Structure 1
């Protein structure tokens, strides 16, 4: 039996009665026991989505999600389960160095306590390293960390072996260190003060998480279906409720899964393509940060010809390749194909301006992580919140429903009553709300928790005296902003269906169940098949009283709340636009601008003893970098051109634009170079002036009279071992 509901199991075993427990809209299941006469009943349902939440000690979903993209350094920490797709980090399970000079640092970060589908983009702090930035061995070969890092991705299979690259790099890592069933990344960092100027970066990754069993076809595969994630959590004995298959109503799971996979129409959102790559079958979009997610429905159009393999006015489904930098997508022919990464070939690039327009998205997609030491009910609540879900435990069976209107399964009227009904037509003022807001984490914001666009209803606000009354709805497993708005509207509309009934029914109401829907007809109240949601269900024993017909009578007490199909309706005109998180306006501290316009002039000077020598004055145009010119400095080096090494550096303040080189010899050729150093100590590439000489003024000739320069003076930007030499001739006017 599920560990969270032992009372339910005991009651059913003892009395064979119905037992129901539920919470609506993302709220876990509880159970209490009531005794009436000789019959033991187990009940428990209070829809706290429709009532004030009691205080709780647990951290808010926003706080929990913020921590999940931060690397953890502690000896003991909870294991993690990932559903759908999410950016996560994890505990540092290994750290070591390599080489006598400790030039290389090795880190292993555990991401999930199970096999996962894919580890995608890696983040060093907030800088992405995409899969195509890595070679076959995981070496970073492009971008900010080119040549300074190696990344190995291990997916956590039950039979996985120790990674051979880790074995080669870490002498104390053996073939026994397999980390079976744990998905992790191995990161090898090469020390470079310019690449890692402040500290070891916090490492996180975008992960496609757990593979889920789907009772619709019996397959097990990666999915973002919320209902399947709920089923997995109910059935898992290691970190969930441990329910066996017979204890889960898979017919309802299948119906809920179908609801989650429905595509909801959204306000069309177009983006133009920057390029089409037929060799990789992908499209690069003109976006700073991708607004599309895997599984979104799009149409493709062009002012010229469409890429080969695509057709106009046809639905395609997105597979995200790159979230930012150069946001990149592939296309699939169906939603299921997109989840399986079965994409379409692009046989040509097409012509004209290509436009990709989002037209729809899955109704309820899941994306988040659960810590296994988290309260079971809290975790279940978080999962259910992603689909406005309802969960009931009745007669030993878990019954899952997604947020969609369900037609009444039974009709009741006055003949089904065994006593008077009690009607409440309005919520108390302290419990009312007419607007909903909350926090979620989305790739639109690089998975950093932020507010989703709130929803409000002006009709309800005016009915509440014009005051906007807010209710918080945090959505830790929702990643699409418009999905969050839909969920907020459902909560609001459920709450504003304010008529509630205490309905004492005869045993004719026995087929009803908590979470289902009934149709109520009542002539005095003017109701004909008015739909109500069953909030609570209870089998009761009433005392009949004295007389020949005295004795206990069985009945069913129902707590009902009015509902309607419009509670779940959604028009795309209700959406509020969401702007992606803007790029920072501050300069990237790893990218330091060099000085420009390097020139040298010299003069003949006398020493204290009366000898003559030469001094060169090196000047430059300041770097276009505030962190250099205000708080930084310039490093200057020079050498005789025949020497292999430059002489030791000296520095000048970032506000300065020149430096002097003393005691140069006449007739000797020199090189001089300058680079910027920002306030963090990160250095730019060198700007170098090769092959200048100094002469006395009298020694200058009219043929090549540059002042004190020789011929063939060039300027080169030096990017170290990764440089591509770029030369620039210095123009001295008519002698250029």
Structure 2
């Protein structure tokens, strides 16, 4: 906005010295009016007189609303804004400001770096004194702009693991003294799938670790290290005319921030945030900068330098694009005088200073009001003259004879506008340049005279020292008490007086003798009268009496909520005294202890996080306890295994966390004894029952089976997956015929009972409903491979032998009814079937096997033998998942569980009967594919007299029944029949009472089969 200035030429007596008069905020135009008709008083609008004109402003609600908006703008100056039309910001003097976000970019493999481009000022600035992130001063930065001290320098403790088969190794990181632990491999535990480890002695010099390893085994080194990282980088550009592109941002993101991305003429910063800092993961932090702001013209010397002088600030603001006043319209003598008065050296330094920001969207009138207030002076809008709040000697003596017209007296200020104390906020170095309430000022003598406390609020956004704010409060309070106002029309003798100057007045009528008044307003008219508003003044108002010492507590001395001290130490214990019973099991635990946290906010309402990790694992387990706690159990933990354990303090409110503190590598001591043997195992139908084991470390129960009477646990087929934890247990996968069912107890360490609980029972023949395919190996003459047997009269019969020990998979002593030292008369019989291709499987089909035999130790195995079974798909991993058996997978013989879900593949079976005194014999061996029932429901099937084929949609292999239900119809049909003579194409016909086929009947149909 540009202020349009119009100069009014008035008819004055010859020789009168007319000063230029300017109309504020517009042009005055006169149409059809002669000079002789002009009856015009041109008055002044004086900024800086707000307190004495308080009552008048109350009557102007619009002005009050503007002030509110203005004050809100001042409060917003430290905020970061994201907008496409943000107002220009001018920084005068020294100010802590936020800015307008010009862009937010990311980089890094995980987008872990966030680059924030923030514009602080719409002009060149003199320098940067500090940068703040979320209110935290960053302190000195290095040449790259990285933080060198404080909370945004991450000194993180980490752990690292390295392996070697040599006898020495150079560690990747320099280890923390005393943290290197060496482990050497021992026997691999195939059952648990865990590599065994034992500790070894190591020697550490710097990053070189040596140890004894004559066998060339794998040695694992675990250690702690510290890594120093700057989490913030700041590069500020001061807005010089030749400022180049930000080098770091251009090098990092050349396509998004090319060399042409220069913001010359603007003061801006490029702030790079490392998002690994937890504080930055909840959104953009508040970014602020303490700037020495705009360089100003010192019209006394002609230099353009940084300045805090309010007169120079006002001069710059009026000439800026915000106001657009022409420099020729400014009375420079006033500005020079005001600038000199502001620079007067008093106890607290310069008499008045100006430090703050203004924006282009602030109301200009309110801004000028606050600017004048900062120097306890005024700005005359009609002449742009200014004056500072300093007592100066009167420039003219007036007498009663100089009054040529009407006059009026105002003896004092109204009670509504009276105050004897001032509250408000200022922004100063004592508070870290954050708007803070200053200590309220109160004049004790005025309080006593008034009989009560009368307060007013005066914000001081451009005042940067508590003493200076206090002095301004005293000036305003005392000045409003000298409210004796005198207004009169004077002769042209007073024409040259300016607002802010002082005069003496002598009047016998009022009893005044050289009484000092200050000109507060001036009006004139063509009738040769000058109307002056005069206010009683006194030098004591403007002195430094009642000075105050700094009492505000600097904000930077408050405890930093983001500064969390790490735990002093961490230690671990385990053993029998630390086991716990949970849900019928005993769990090995590690007791982790530490000294009480030293950060008060953590102890009061924070947390302690403890994490633990099995050596060699990738995932940390976590538990959290109250910030006042000093111990916690972590579980479960594997007996004999080594664990890493670490802990840290957490401020729960801000989610700020300390660095990790690590304990020494810990090997768990826990449960080792096997559980008791299972008791009272029995079976009813397909349901197993047993006496429950009450041991605390019991994990559950496991069951396996053999065909026939066979007590070998290791070769038995599992009857379930996982561990059974509840009793009774119904067999889901069940073999058929005579079987041996065995059970053991299992504890949480993986230890099994020493002996098995056994049942030998006949489970009968399998239930078969829909046979879709049968492989009768007996009927086909037992095609395949024979070992220790011959085909005799259609049966497989074991050969005679003189083996003393029997087959390898037999129990050591054999059945109880055998002689203790009986010699084996017959060899082990082993029959491997030919490969059979199954091609008729429907979804959900069950494959069962029936065998009739005599002999002992029946053991049945099967495998998939089709093309590609052995190796799987080309994309499969060579060895399969880690949890699979070492040599498992397709193509490997597996125990036959009794029945399986069938697939269209190639299968093969291997049947073994043990050697012994009884000759092994197989008289029947049949594999059956049993399809599940298939049902389809059809509605409103229209039937033709010639017959209608049932329009089923499911993939039936065989249709067993077709059940039609005749619906009400007009065709005359009374019955309906289904003809299944054509396979898979049943036909429906409807008949009338004469049993003649008719058309038009409809029926609902149920089709069943498989």
Q: Is the TM value for this pair above 0.5?
A: yes
1:209 matched to 2:293? The reply is yes
What TM-score comes out, normalization by structure 1 length?
0.70
Match of 1:470 among 431, 452, 455: 455
1:388 matched to 2:376? The reply is yes
CA distance in 2 between counterparts of 1:176 and 1:426 reads: 64
Answer whether contact 2:70 2:363 (CA < 8 A) is retained: no
1:537 matched to 2:525? The reply is no
Residues 671-728 of structure 1 deviation map (CA, whole Å, 9 limit, x = unaligned) = 4433344435544333323355567999xxxxxxxxxxxxxxxxxxxxxxxxxxxxxx
SS in structure 2 opposite 1:370? Answer: strand
Q: For residues 519 and 31 of structure 1, do their structure 2 counterparts lie closer, same or farther at Cα, with a shift above 3 Å needed? A: farther
Which is worse superposed, 477-486 or 493-502?
A: 493-502
Q: How many residues align?
A: 571
The equivalent residue for 2:540 is 566
Match of 1:684 among 653, 658, 668: 658
The equivalent residue for 1:555 is 529
Residues 126-156 of structure 1 deviation map (CA, whole Å, 9 limit, x = unaligned) = 11112x1x11011123211121111110111
Q: For residues 649 and 219 of structure 1, do their structure 2 counterparts lie closer, same or farther at Cα, with a shift above 3 Å needed? A: same
CA distance in 2 between counterparts of 1:485 and 1:492 reads: 11
Shift in Å at residue 524 of structure 1? 2.5
1:10 matched to 2:7? The reply is yes
The 5 Å alignment of 1:170-569 reads 170-171=253-254, 172-196=256-280, 198-236=282-320, 238-244=321-327, 246-265=328-347, 360-393=348-381, 397-419=383-405, 421-464=407-450, 466-542=451-527, 554-569=528-543
Q: For residues 505 and 422 of structure 1, do their structure 2 counterparts lie closer, same or farther at Cα, with a shift above 3 Å needed? A: same
Answer whether contact 1:417 1:503 (CA < 8 A) is retained: yes
List runs of 5+ in structure 1 lacking aligned partners: 23-27, 266-359, 543-553, 699-736
SS in structure 1 opposite 2:471? Answer: helix
Shift in Å at residue 66 of structure 1? 2.3
Answer whether contact 2:642 2:665 (CA < 8 A) is retained: yes
Answer whether contact 1:195 1:682 (CA < 8 A) is retained: yes
Which is worse superposed, 150-159 or 189-198?
A: 189-198
Which is worse superposed, 163-172 or 584-593?
A: 584-593
SS in structure 2 opposite 1:258? Answer: helix
Q: For residues 451 and 631 of structure 1, do their structure 2 counterparts lie closer, same or farther at Cα, with a shift above 3 Å needed? A: closer
1:128 matched to 2:137? The reply is yes
SS in structure 1 opposite 2:534? Answer: strand
Answer whether contact 2:40 2:526 (CA < 8 A) is retained: no
Shift in Å at residue 94 of structure 1? 0.5
What TM-score comes out, normalization by structure 2 length?
0.52
The equivalent residue for 1:139 is 146
CA distance in 2 between counterparts of 1:621 and 1:577 reads: 40
SS in structure 1 opposite 2:42? Answer: strand
CA distance in 2 between counterparts of 1:652 and 1:555 reads: 85
SS in structure 2 opposite 1:482? Answer: helix
The 5 Å alignment of 1:13-28 reads 17-18=18-19
CA distance in 2 between counterparts of 1:30 and 1:440 reads: 34
CA distance in 2 between counterparts of 1:596 and 1:417 reads: 89
CA distance in 1 between counterparts of 2:608 and 2:522 reads: 75
Higher relative contact order (CA 8 A, sep 6+): 1
CA distance in 2 between counterparts of 1:639 and 1:208 reads: 55
CA distance in 1 between counterparts of 2:297 and 2:325 reads: 15
The equivalent residue for 2:45 is 45
The equivalent residue for 1:57 is 65
Answer whether contact 1:104 1:188 (CA < 8 A) is retained: yes
1:72 matched to 2:81? The reply is yes
Shift in Å at residue 481 of structure 1? 1.3
CA distance in 2 between counterparts of 1:495 and 1:201 reads: 44
Shift in Å at residue 454 of structure 1? 2.9
CA distance in 2 between counterparts of 1:108 and 1:520 reads: 61
List runs of 5+ in structure 2 lacking aligned partners: 154-229, 673-1010
SS in structure 2 opposite 1:380? Answer: helix
CA distance in 1 between counterparts of 2:655 and 2:461 reads: 39
SS in structure 2 opposite 1:42? Answer: coil
C-alpha root-mean-square deviation of aligned residues, in Å?
3.5
Residues 80-135 of structure 1 deviation map (CA, whole Å, 9 limit, x = unaligned) = 001110110011110111134111111011100000011221111111112x1x11
CA distance in 2 between counterparts of 1:560 and 1:405 reads: 15
Q: For residues 685 and 491 of structure 1, do their structure 2 counterparts lie closer, same or farther at Cα, with a shift above 3 Å needed? A: closer
Shift in Å at residue 188 of structure 1? 0.8
Match of 1:160 among 221, 227, 243: 243
SS in structure 2 opposite 1:384? Answer: helix
The equivalent residue for 2:99 is 90
SS in structure 1 opposite 2:594? Answer: strand
Shift in Å at residue 449 of structure 1? 2.2
Residues 650-684 of structure 1 deviation map (CA, whole Å, 9 limit, x = unaligned) = 32434572324556565x76544333444355443
CA distance in 2 between counterparts of 1:459 and 1:32 reads: 48
Answer whether contact 1:241 1:376 (CA < 8 A) is retained: no
The equivalent residue for 1:289 is none
